[in-house]
Structure 1
Amino acid sequence: MEKNISINNKIWIDYLRVVSTLAVIIIHVSAIGVMTLNINTPDWLIANFYDSLSRFCVPIFFMISGALLLNKDYELKNFLRKRTIRIIPPLLFWSTVYFTFNNKKYLLGEFEFIAFLQKITRSFLYGSEYHLHFVYILLGFYLSVPILRQWIKKSSTTYIVYFLSIWFFSILYRIPSIVIYLPKIDITNFSGYLGYMVLGHFLFNTNFKGKYRYLLLFMASVGITVLGTYYFSLRQGVFYEYFYDYLSINIIIASSSFFLFFKNKKISVKGLDNIVSIISKYSFGIYLVHALVLKLLVNLNIDMFIVTPVLSIPIVSILCLIISLGVIVFVNKLPFGKYISG
């Protein structure tokens, strides 16, 4: 499935990456409200809305990777070397930072070397902070890219659609109320986040007309996420997280429609493009550091409760984005900083 679609003029991808980066932060700012507040309170409803609105972010990152990486040929050794240098040093550095920050009382207290080795080993193997989990998923993706590229290069559109159809079908097995009615077919090889990479490549290389129909589809899927989460949480008396799942049908639809809206809109704003390009360039570093920035802001009582959450969630999120960008730009300018800034 080879189409002559250039990836050189990709400012819309930069905009999409920046919006997704901000959306990740919004999720983590609003999460405290979703997880701790009473479901019937207005503040919970607001936090649920912002969280639901932003759930496209992680799938979009994977789709962008598929759109950009699966359109090029690679020499295996060079590809793995470049991706290793790109991911491993920043991951190790920021994992150490988070481990130190989260265990400062332990490190300054009674120190046991064996216990320390066990803690730091678990930290590096499984992620020393909640958001680093997806960096490990990304590493798995990079290992598969050279193989996926060769398959996609030699495959027709029919086979790509066939793969995505089975992947989408596998998602049905994640729906609690439906899985009991499905045949016990083992299609685990098609399930998981890898489908987003193939989906991103497919949507990028296929001409889907229209703009605002995808915006309306995105809004409808967000509405399903908001109302579905509220209804089932209220019904069960505890937070119901299925509709937040990045591999739920509503999030797949939201992510795909959001991707297509940006692709067909080809967003570009004179005077803003350069700023967006800079944020996009450092988006991985921003992702790595933003959780630490949020922790520090919370310690200063700067969170979604500083004023009404309607205003405070976006304000705190934008503030976190700006500070995180400043930190990464600063680190990048240090000697060898480019290897750990992300």
Structure 2
Amino acid sequence: MQTGGHRFSAAMDMARVVACFMVVLLHVAALNFHSFDGQWWASNFYDSLTRSCVPLFLMITGVLLLGRQEPLPAFLRKRFLRILPPLLFWSLFYMTWNTFQGEHYGPWYDWLRTLANGPVTFHLWYLYAIVGIYLFVPFLRKIWHATGPVEKKTYLALWALVSAWPTVKTLAGIDTDLLEVYGVGSFFGLVGYLFLGAYVRELYMRQRDRRRYWLVNVMLFALFSSLTMLATYAYSRHSGEPDPLFYDYLSPFVLASSFCAFNVLYGLGTRVVEYAGPLKQLSACTLGVYCIHIFILQRLDDATPLMDADNWWSIPVMAVCVFLLSMAAIMALRRFRPFEYVT
């Protein structure tokens, strides 16, 4: 008989592995998003379907960290300092590769300046963002433990409303930045997903009919992903060119689909405890897969004509190839102990 701890671990690993694959699928789909042609609808479909990937990672972090109680020095040593080696390693990896490709960063102190100024390749933004998010975790924990159900709902409602404002502002053509005028920026940002993840897990555990709750979330995830896709099409046609406004991780439809996706994956994970071992092995590699997959995607895209074919099938096929090759590369690297700290 499996314990609740085993089910919880399997659920977290399932969510992390699927979110990682969604990241890969999203970046493959994005290759052909920026021009209206016969392939655009496939890109829009897969991109809309996977927009909850980064929110899922943050919600997992919220579940794993907000419920813990540990002194601040222990948190900084055991959690925060662990995110710096991957940031440095993968930034230097891509800078070295870019140097071989002809890009020049100057002397060593210019490399340091470049590292400090932001990601050297676009997808590494997440490693930089997580630095600030982790710094806030000890204080968010205090809020989580000190608030009751009503306060938690109120915080999440305010966060969702404030997060929707940039999308509403753009659609309505409003010049005034109400977030600044009314000082409600504290309720804005990706850190809210940590709070949402911890809350959604509690909500799931309180359900009496979890099968029905799971099925409802499957349908709602499909609905909100479809709304993201249709809204992106409508706004892009209005703008005259593909526009990712509704792809933003804090846009209303993405926030709603992320809520549903987490419920779906958490519920699915609790039902596959017999695969907990393989899931745990794959889950341990997801950070490395996230970091290396763009390198492998670019090499495959250059080497094969796959993305020139029908995107309805070439996008998922390419995503599976990139994911498997990335996973194989990271598993090989993790056989050497030093790489465990950066993958």
What TM-score results when the alignment is normalised by the length of structure 1? 0.89
2:199 to 195, 198, 202: 202
2:54 to 58, 63, 79: 58
Query: How far has the Cα of 1:44 moved from its partner?
Result: 0.7
Pair 1:279 & 2:276 matched: no
Pair 1:146 & 2:144 matched: no
Q: Alpha carbons of 1:102 and 1:192: their partners in 2 closer, same or farther (altered >3 Å)?
A: same
Question: Quick one: which amino acid aligns to residue 123 of structure 1?
Answer: L
Please give the residue correspondences for 1:33-44 in structure 2 after superposition, counting only pairs within 5 Å: 33-35=32-34, 37=35, 39=36, 41-44=37-40
Corresponding residue number in structure 2 for 1:31: 30
Q: Alpha carbons of 1:214 and 1:270: their partners in 2 closer, same or farther (altered >3 Å)?
A: closer
Pair 1:126 & 2:125 matched: no
Corresponding residue number in structure 1 for 2:255: 252
Distance 1:179 1:156 in 2: 38
Preserved CA contact (<8 Å) 1:99 1:120: no
Q: CA-to-partner distance for each residue in 1:8-60, whole Å, 9 max, x for gaps?
A: 5221221111111001001111111102x3x2x33110111011100010001
Specify the SS of the correspondent of 1:177: helix
Question: Quick one: which amino acid aligns to residue 141 of structure 1?
Answer: I
Q: Alpha carbons of 1:6 and 1:185: their partners in 2 closer, same or farther (altered >3 Å)?
A: farther
Query: How far has the Cα of 1:303 moved from its partner?
Result: 4.8
Moved more, 144-153 or 220-229: 144-153
Moved more, 59-68 or 288-297: 288-297
Preserved CA contact (<8 Å) 2:7 2:271: no
How many residues were matched structurally?
329
Moved more, 265-274 or 314-323: 265-274
Distance 1:92 1:337 in 2: 13
Pair 1:221 & 2:224 matched: yes
Preserved CA contact (<8 Å) 2:87 2:128: no
Corresponding residue number in structure 1 for 2:326: 324
Q: CA-to-partner distance for each residue in 1:130-168, whole Å, 9 max, x for gaps?
A: 111011111112111111112211211111111111111
Corresponding residue number in structure 1 for 2:45: 49
Corresponding residue number in structure 2 for 1:20: 19
1:117 to 96, 109, 113: 109
Moved more, 132-141 or 193-202: 132-141
Distance 2:271 2:4 in 1: 16
Q: Alpha carbons of 1:267 and 1:152: their partners in 2 closer, same or farther (altered >3 Å)?
A: closer
Gaps of 5+ in 2: none
Query: How far has the Cα of 1:86 moved from its partner?
Result: 2.2
Corresponding residue number in structure 1 for 2:7: 9
Structure having the higher helix fraction is 2
Preserved CA contact (<8 Å) 2:80 2:135: no
Question: Quick one: which amino acid aligns to residue 127 of structure 2?
Answer: V
Distance 2:249 2:145 in 1: 27
Question: Quick one: which amino acid aligns to residue 33 of structure 1?
Answer: N
Query: How far has the Cα of 1:120 moved from its partner?
Result: 4.8
Distance 2:90 2:305 in 1: 23
1:169 to 161, 171, 184: 161
Pair 1:294 & 2:294 matched: no
Query: How far has the Cα of 1:330 moved from its partner?
Result: 1.6
Q: CA-to-partner distance for each residue in 1:69-119, whole Å, 9 max, x for gaps?
A: 111111211211122442111211111110111222446x8x853xx6335
Corresponding residue number in structure 1 for 2:215: 212
Distance 1:30 1:266 in 2: 26
1:240 to 206, 230, 243: 243
Gaps of 5+ in 1: none
Specify the SS of the correspondent of 1:9: helix
The runs of at least 4 consecutive aligned structure 1 residues that moved more than 6 Å come to: none
User: RMSD across aligned C-alpha pairs, in angstroms?
Assistant: 2.3
Pair 1:71 & 2:63 matched: no
